[in-house]
Amino acid sequence: MQKRPLGTTGLTAPGLGCMGMSEFYGPTEDTASLATLGAALDIGYDFLDTADTYGLGHNEELLGRFLEDRRDRVVLATKFGIVRDARGSRRIDNTPAYIEAACNASLKRLRIETIDLYYCHRRNPETPLEETMGAMAKLVDSGKVRALGLSEVSPATLRAAHAIHPIAAVQSEYSLWSRAPEDGMLETCDELGVTFVAYSPLGRGFLTGAIDPKALSEGDFRKGNPRFQGEALTRNQRLADALGAFAAARGATAAQIALAWLVNKAPRVVPIPGARRATRLAENAAAVDLVLSSDEIAELDALFSNDAVAGARYAAGGTAGIEVL
């Protein structure tokens, strides 16, 4: 797999999103997740992405077990800012006191001394950006964090934050059916030398054609997602079917084409597809080296135009802290 830099930090990646190993996409099992992580590292996925909110700390604890004798082989990213509890309450906290406490808690769960890439998961405008960035910069100065990132921010916030302290990466949802980063963010990242990390690059699994949205298990986040319901689902299914036909004509899978579209679109994009089973890892890895022509990219762009995709990215209440929808 080709590797791409994370800003100017010297860190490199292809990436694996680990959220689904703890919650949101149905039942999980730690033994299987640890086996998948091992297989991912063997294939070349040395950039692992987590957050303190995934599984209310469980995902970091899982990775802490995995990293115990592999720390020097992994670039580890985690995030702070979304504060949840078992009762379902949710708030966004960017205050300096919380940032320090959250970092210390993440380090303990991960069983490491330094986080390679530390993101502000969501922005709370009630805390001035200067205070948030100042607290994050102190973590770098203390050696607890190597590089800083932001998630789901606007180009203006990225510019302002980068002027305070260098930002290595911005993470947002980006895929064939979520194109908001093309409205200024990718250009801003290119200008500033910031890597763009694309989460949910397979449309939460929908673009693979391998899931049945009507058969999702209880507790699966996607059951309440607007794009997986009603008329929106019907319209989006036509797009997924067309992607499958496009992929078949290229001798590839739909997942491979969706990932190849991302890495062929821009040189600073690093997708972090999730995988809970090792069987998908090699398929996704091969996509990073798949070359699409400019005509093929244009065809996919037109197929998944903003007008063609139906439904919002999140249900009401799930957009707190997201600056660009």
Q: Which 3 state secondary structure label does DSSP give 45?
A: coil
Kind of pairing between the strands at 269-271 and 195-199 = parallel
Q: Is residue 299 within 8 Å of residue 246, measured between CB atoms? A: yes
pLDDT of residue 203: 95
Residue-by-residue pLDDT tens, the chain, 325 positions? 677 777 777 766 668 999 999 988 888 899 999 999 999 999 989 999 999 999 999 999 999 999 999 999 999 999 999 999 888 789 999 999 999 999 999 999 999 999 999 999 999 999 999 999 999 999 999 999 999 999 999 999 999 999 999 999 999 999 999 999 999 999 999 999 999 999 999 999 999 998 898 889 888 889 989 999 999 999 999 999 999 999 999 999 999 999 999 989 887 899 999 988 888 898 898 888 899 999 999 999 999 998 999 999 998 778 889 999 8
Active site residue 54: yes
- Indicate the domain borders of the chain: 13-303
In angstroms, the CA 265 to CA 220 distance is 31
pLDDT of residue 300: 97
Q: Is residue 137 within 8 Å of residue 165, measured between CB atoms? A: yes
Per-position DSSP letters for 183-194, written without gaps between them: TTHHHHHHHHTP
pLDDT of residue 87: 82
pLDDT of residue 106: 98
Long-range Cβ pairs for the range 304-308 (8 Å, 24+) = 304/176, 304/177, 304/179, 304/239, 304/243, 306/179, 308/235, 308/239
Segment 271-294, tens digit of pLDDT = 999 988 888 898 898 888 899 999
**Catalytic member of 25, 54, 118, 119:** 54
Distances from the Cα of 216 to the Cα of 224, 249, 309, angstroms: 10, 29, 21
In angstroms, the CA 184 to CA 32 distance is 39
User: CA nearest 283: which of 173, 208, 222, 203?
Assistant: 208
Region for 321 from its dihedrals, namely left if φ exceeds 0, alpha if ψ lies in -120 to 50, beta otherwise: left
User: CA nearest 148: which of 182, 109, 184, 99?
Assistant: 99
Q: Which CATH number, 3.20.20.100, 1.10.1040.10, 3.40.50.720, 3.40.50.300, labels domain 13-303?
A: 3.20.20.100
Report yes or no on whether pTM surpasses 0.85: yes
